[in-house]
Structure 1
């Protein structure tokens, strides 16, 4: 697929959206920005809620693709998750379908499969069994449930309407990991931009699910479907390992929050901040 010229970026004022606003134009994208909050320094950004169907129709008009990062990114009461992440994502897909947008890259999450046991920390990397993308949905929160819904919605819109999606199960995309778990799921901002660009430009993706992380030495999941899109991660969290392990110690396989993919999200209630 040729590089889309005009890309709708939802969630443009959020943490990940802010990172991508600075990185994606280097790949040739002209960004159209959308967020429920004003985007600092961007007077032309569309400020609207995902429940505003008219605003969404205007936002998708004439765009070549959508990178959908908007929504609640932590656990919240179900009513809020329902409105923002479930109904909001449906509203976006309907607007994109009506406008003939050919592809969406959907910010899914590892929390869609958060109750999946993680590989043990003491397993050598060369004998570690990586978690495949076809592992069954095992959401760890209402937030994770909304990401499972989003993946299934994407599959429906591909099968029924031919609207392509790459669902990216993002780990943690920050400048650097902040705890030992993130050493396994961290995605550098530069690798995030590389992955989103690959997802936006690969040929004939249908509905493809990929994990989103850098090529970490302590990697937990299989990046093969992401690499098949043309993604070539360049970064590794191992440079931060000694410092974080000295501060926090190795992961304890007897603690659910340290032995499952979803980390603290599997706690009841989840431990915040995280």
Structure 2
């Protein structure tokens, strides 16, 4: 079990000063009831900003100890602007437990993206070369042992103009994220007309090798409907990997929450 001592910086924004004060107070009270050991909290004074959409802002600083699964749940629930990991007790997590954590991230982020839009947005990928698909066992073993990569399988749903374009763009996007593709298969699930244009839905299954950070990012961006870790059976996570993974996750949650706030203020 990995246990963390960390600090969250949670921001509340709005156009009503009293509402911002109330919001941050309620967040503080809710955090004190969570399944973590609160070590201290500090609320900054509400300040007036130059942003016409969010005139007032304040930040709550919360320092606490908790198990990795509980800390990740709080990242998803409260969307901190900043996550700082101060201390890590333990470095290993069973693959089965990690899959459970990833499934929770996938379900939560999938729900947010259904409401506020996808996170999987990329620049034009047409100029990028098509990445290699398929590695021999010696290459895979080298990635796992020397680079600390994880071998895992995802099943996702994807939409686009046609099967070939979706497959090509997905392979390039995965490579751009830092993943190595070992297997890639897809199945056409649905073909519909939308605003006079043909759209298709694919079910895509792929086996990837990547760092733990990339695994977290892809889980949050694509909200896979299926996740399996092939190897190793026990995953080692360094403090730096934990910091990067939680920071990336918090950033993506924040982006979706910010979209919601902008929609409310339009």
TM band (smaller chain): under 0.3
Larger radius of gyration: 2
What's the TM-score once normalised by structure 2's chain length? 0.24
Higher relative contact order (CA 8 A, sep 6+): 2
The structure where strand makes up a greater share of residues is: 2
